[in-house]
Every structure is written in C-alpha cells, then in structure tokens.
C-alpha cells in the first residue's frame, strides 16, 4: 500500500502546506529496513516565526470568535477524520517509527478518543462566582493561555500530537507543534486534516525540525505563551531554563523507570504475560515502560524463567505484518545505545537470560531481553534504557518493594500485582508515581490524568486537569455599593 514513498511533505503553516524558508528537505528512511520512506521539509527559525505569527493571528482573529460549541464540533470532526484516514495514518506511523502496525492501530483508536474526550470536556470550562462579603461581586473568567508551543518525541508521534493538541484546542489556544525531525509524517498529516475539517488557518501549525536549534527557538520565541514538552528528562531541564526568560507557562512529560511489582500471591498467569507486554510494547520505547520487574523473593526464579519464556515468544519482525507484536527500534544508533546498556549491566553482574544481542541486517532490531540478578543500584536498574530490556529485581516484603520502587529519580507509573487488594492500595499510596495500576497493565486512558512525580516532570495530560494548564483564570471584582471608597480619605 506504499502511501508515503513518493510524497514530499511540506511544513503546515497557516492552514497550508508550505515550502520551508530554511530550504531544507530531509530524506526519511524506514528504521525497520533502512529503505527510503519519504521526504519532509524541516523548519528553521524563519519558519517558526511564520508559524507563530499565523498562530497569533488566528488566536486574536477567527479562533477567538469561534464559540465553544463550534470548537467542540471541530474536535469531533477531527476525530472523525482520523478514523476515516486510519489506514493511511497507521501505515505512515508504522513505517516511520518501525512500530508494529497492530500497536499503531490501538494508538489510533486512542487518538480518536482523545479528541472526543476534549470535545466534551469543553463543557466543563467555566469560571465561578462566590460570595466574598460586603458589596463585592466576584466572578472569574477562563481564558486561553494563548499560543502554545508543543514539542513531541519520536516514540509515539501521532498519539503524542493528539495528547498535546486536543486539550490546547479545547481550551481555545492556537498551536505550533514541533515533531521530532525523524518522525514528522503523521503530525503533518494531522495538520492537513485539521485544515480539511474546517479549523481556521493558523490554529494548528506543524513545524518539524531539530531540537537544539528549531525546538529551542520555538521555546524561546516571545510570541509563544506556553510550552508543553514531552521528551527526555535532560532536554526537559534545558527547556525549563529556556522558559525562564521571558517567563513562560510550562508543562513537562519526561522519562521513567517504572516498576512492575509482582507479589508471590499474584495471579502469575496474568501478571507475567502482562509484565512482558508492559515493557516490550513499542519495543520498550515508552516513557511508562515497566522496565523494572520487582519480584517477591520466593517466586523470583520462577518469574524470571516464565518472563524469559514469554519474551522469547513475542513475534518480532516486519512492522507492517499484522501478526507482528514488536517491530524495530527507531534507528541503528539507538539500537547500539540499548545494547551498550545490556553490556554495562553484564559488566555490573547482571545475567542475560534471553535476548541481549542486536539483530543482523539493515533494520534496527533488538530482541526482547531479560536481565536477571539485578539489584536496585545497578545502572540498568536506574537509567532509562528506552529499549526492549527488562531488569528483574528481587524484594523481601511490602516495605522493601516500595523502597526499591521509589529508589529512582523518576516517578511516572507503577503496576502492582497481588490478590490482596488492601495490599495493592497500600502500595498505591506508598509509591511516588503519577499513576499506579493494580492488577492491570494498561496505562493511558482519555479522562484519566497521566504524568509524573519527581524527574518524570510536572503537569498532567489526558485529564480534565490538563485543560487548566491551557487556561488563565481572570478574577473580576465589582463593587455594587453606592458608597465611595476614597481609601486615603482625600
């Protein structure tokens, strides 16, 4: 079905596909094969200027005049357009990222639901009025923050774009979205679809480009009022610095090293395949990958053996084959980084139980890899590997499990498996993470806040709370008393 190969993608600015002022058109390749995929324009500073100007004009013009009911209708229309174009979007995403098309289809379903959720959530945007005493009448207004600069990574290009766009547009902001330069195709297509369904020109602009140059320029741009970033903790820190002058609103969704805690009383027949899915989905290139499996000591050896067996049965291969469960990594350079971590782990005493050797050939394949004999201090137990590598760590009891779970700089997600639901809820309170799942591997649901504690960032996505991050609250106070104030008695 080769949807992408022949096409050259422009930037999406002011409702049009435009040539880049930078003049740069980059060749994109398929990570799973190394073959050419498409050509895409890359934005430079002048392009960001144009995109921010278009977003500002729409913010002060057509979008400001669009009532909430119409914003809601447009969000639903974009959801419909994603659903109608799902085959093309799925293939684009799968080929551009190397991700199994079966996974991408699930992500597309959520992309549609995100827009539907925020189309409805618009109804919740309202100020309030409450008695403040005396003759004062107070009410508050909710106003869009303004132009949002949004930066997303390569691991879920379409889904991350929908996570970012849907609340911003629901709140009445306009957006300049910068996808990762390696994976711009579905975000650019999303921009086109937004225009096709009737979003006014300039409401959604998409400008792929390099992070340290184009991305940093967007963050610093004086025409950008709020920055929303998803990516690594290191880049998040840099963006925080860039947002300090002039001061900008900022939300950060960063990395993770999330635990999957298996108690001896868990239903292991459910917990083990779920644990395999929780780390090997998207080849481990997920912020919320449960890349540390913590196992209660009496069942440690049994869990290691069963997890390795499950990992070995995952179908790895051609991302476009519907039977494939795990595709390639994003690039051979990233694959080599992942393998470097495995070697570091072995050097520190970890044992490779399955996997652990890069695939041959031009594709960036790495097998599902299980590392046993890991303790919480090892590099592979502390750092985000961002590949299909899981570390299995024993624990003694509930307190020990919580201690190890919390003993990393991240706090994005945790999953607990136990038949004792009181224990599950005790753990949920002890663990410092934005979300805790009990006997359930899934992580992201439209309507349920998602985000980090500690160095996994701040701010929440997917929830009603997210709307607040794109809104200002303005208080209006009016005296209804006929009596003059004259506070100085002049």
- The string over 145-158, giving b where at least 16 C-beta atoms fall within 10 Å of a residue's C-beta and e elsewhere, is bbbbbbbbbbbbbb
Q: Which of 30, 93, 253, 296 is catalytic?
A: 253
Structure tokens at 285: 């290139």
Q: Contact, 397 vs 335, CB < 8 A?
A: no
- Is residue 387 near ligand NAD by the rule CB under 6 A? no
Q: Which of 238, 309, 407, 472 binds ligand NAD (CB under 6 A)?
A: 238
Smallest CA-to-CA distance from 413 within 287, 236, 227 is with 287
- Residue 243 annotated to the active site: no
Binding mask 328-367 for ligand NAD (x = CB under 6 A): ----------------------------------------
19: helix, coil or strand? coil
Report the nearest approach of ligand NAD to the CB of residue 330 (Å).
8
User: Phi, psi (5° rounding) for residue 252?
Assistant: -130, 125
**180 is an interface residue for ligand NAD by CB under 6 A:** yes
Pick 177 or 310: Cβ nearer ligand NAD: 177
Active site residue 287: yes
Beta-carbon contacts of residue 350 (< 8 Å; ≥ 6 apart) = 371, 372, 373, 374, 378, 380, 391
Member of 384, 405, 431, 467 binding ligand NAD (CB under 6 A)? 384
- Compute the least distance from the CB of residue 230 to ligand NAD, in Å: 5
CA 31 to chain centre: 20
Indicate whether 231 belongs to the interface with ligand NAD (CB under 6 A).
yes
User: Rule CB under 6 A: is residue 219 a binding residue for ligand NAD?
Assistant: yes
What does residue 321 show for φ and ψ, rounded to 5 degrees?
-75, 125
Residue 165 or 216: which CB sits closer to ligand NAD? 216
Contact 48, 206 (CB under 8 A): no
Whole-number Å distance between alpha carbons of 322 and 120: 33
Q: Does 281 bind ligand NAD (CB under 6 A)?
A: no
Is the CB of 4 or the CB of 227 nearer to ligand NAD? 227
Q: Choose, by CB under 6 A, the member of 17, 29, 120, 232 that binds ligand NAD.
A: 232
Name the one range near ligand NAD by CB under 6 A: 66-74, 308-316, 348-356, 450-458.
Answer: 450-458
> Least distance (Å) from ligand NAD to the CB of residue 151?
5
Question: Number of residues in contact with ligand NAD, rule: CB under 6 A?
Answer: 30
Q: Give the nearest residue (CB) to ligand NAD.
A: 211
Q: What does the block give as tokens for 139? A: 């009410």
Which residue out of 107, 113, 243, 287 is catalytically annotated? 287
Site string for ligand NAD, 248-267 (x = CB under 6 A): -----xxxx-----------
Cβ contact 219:151 at 8 Å:
yes
Residues 6+ apart with CB under 8 A from 486: none
> Contact at 8 Å (CB) between 277 and 415?
no
Query: What is the widest separation between alpha-carbon atoms in the chain?
Result: 87
**94 versus 235: smaller Cβ distance to ligand NAD:** 235
Dist CA 310 CA 392 (whole Å)? 14
Tokens encoding 344: 């570091």
Task: Output the smallest distance, CB 305 to ligand NAD, in A.
Answer: 29
Give the span between the Cα atoms of 194 and 14, in whole angstroms. 11
DSSP-assigned beta bridge partners for residue 213: none
Q: Kindly state the smallest distance separating residue 385's Cβ from ligand NAD, in Å.
A: 10
Stretch that binds ligand NAD, among 109-117, 135-143, 188-196, 234-242 (CB under 6 A): 234-242
Which residues are the active-site residues? 253, 287
Catalog residues that contact ligand NAD under the rule CB under 6 A: 151-156, 178, 180, 211-212, 215-216, 219, 230-232, 235, 238-239, 253-256, 287, 384, 386, 412, 452, 456-457
């Amino acid at each position: 079905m080769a949807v992408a190969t022949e096409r050259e993608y422009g930037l999406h600015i002011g409702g049009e596909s435009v040539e880049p002022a930078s003049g740069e058109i980059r060749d994109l390749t398929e990570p799973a094969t190394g073959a050419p995929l498409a050509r895409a324009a890359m934005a430079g500073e002048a392009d960001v200027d144009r995109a921010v100007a278009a977003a500002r004009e729409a913010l002060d013009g057509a979008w400001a005049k669009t009532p909430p009911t119409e914003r809601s209708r447009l969000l639903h229309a974009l959801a419909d357009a994603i659903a109608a174009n799902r085959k093309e979007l799925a293939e684009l995403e799968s080929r551009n990222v190397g991700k199994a098309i079966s996974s991408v289809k699930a992500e597309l379903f959520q992309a549609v639901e995100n827009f539907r959720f925020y189309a409805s959530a618009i109804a919740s945007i309202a100020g309030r009025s409450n008695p403040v005493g005396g003759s004062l009448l107070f009410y508050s207004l909710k106003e869009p923050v303004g132009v949002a600069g949004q930066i997303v990574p390569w691991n879920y290009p379409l889904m991350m774009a929908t996570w970012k766009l849907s609340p911003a547009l629901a709140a009445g902001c306009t957006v300049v979205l910068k996808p990762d330069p390696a994976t711009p195709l579905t975000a650019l297509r999303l921009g086109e679809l937004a225009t096709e369904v009737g979003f006014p020109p300039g409401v959604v602009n998409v400008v792929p480009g390099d992070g340290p140059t184009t991305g940093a320029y967007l963050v610093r741009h004086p025409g950008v009022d709020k920055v929303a970033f998803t990516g690594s903790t290191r880049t998040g820190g840099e963006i925080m610095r860039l947002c300090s002058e002039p001061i900008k609103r900022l939300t950060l969704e960063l990395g993770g090293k999330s635990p999957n805690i298996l108690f001896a009383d868990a239903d292991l027949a459910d917990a083990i395949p779920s644990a395999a899915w929780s780390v090997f989905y998207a080849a481990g290139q997920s912020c919320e990958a449960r890349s540390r499996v913590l196992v209660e000591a009496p069942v440690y050896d049994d869990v290691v053996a069963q997890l390795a067996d499950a990992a070995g049965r995952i179908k790895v291969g051609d991302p476009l084959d519907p039977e494939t469960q795990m595709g390639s990594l994003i690039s051979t350079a990233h694959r080599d980084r992942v393998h470097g971590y495995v070697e570091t782990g072995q050097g520190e005493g970890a044992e490779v139980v399955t996997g652990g050797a890069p695939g041959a050939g031009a594709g960036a394949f790495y097998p599902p890899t299980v590392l046993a004999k890991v303790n919480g201090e090892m590099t592979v137990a502390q750092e985000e590997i961002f590949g299909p590598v899981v570390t299995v760590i024993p624990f003694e009891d509930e307190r020990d499990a919580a201690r190890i779970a919390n003993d990393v700089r991240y706090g994005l997600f945790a999953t607990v498996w136990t038949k004792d639901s009181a224990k599950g809820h005790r753990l949920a309170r002890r663990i410092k993470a934005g979300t805790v799942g009990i006997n359930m591997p899934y992580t992201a649901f439209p309507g349920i806040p998602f985000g980090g504690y500690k160095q996994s960032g701040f701010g929440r996505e997917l929830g009603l709370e997210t709307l607040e991050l794109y809104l200002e609250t303005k208080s209006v106070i009016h005296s209804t008393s006929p009596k003059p104030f004259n506070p100085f008695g002049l």
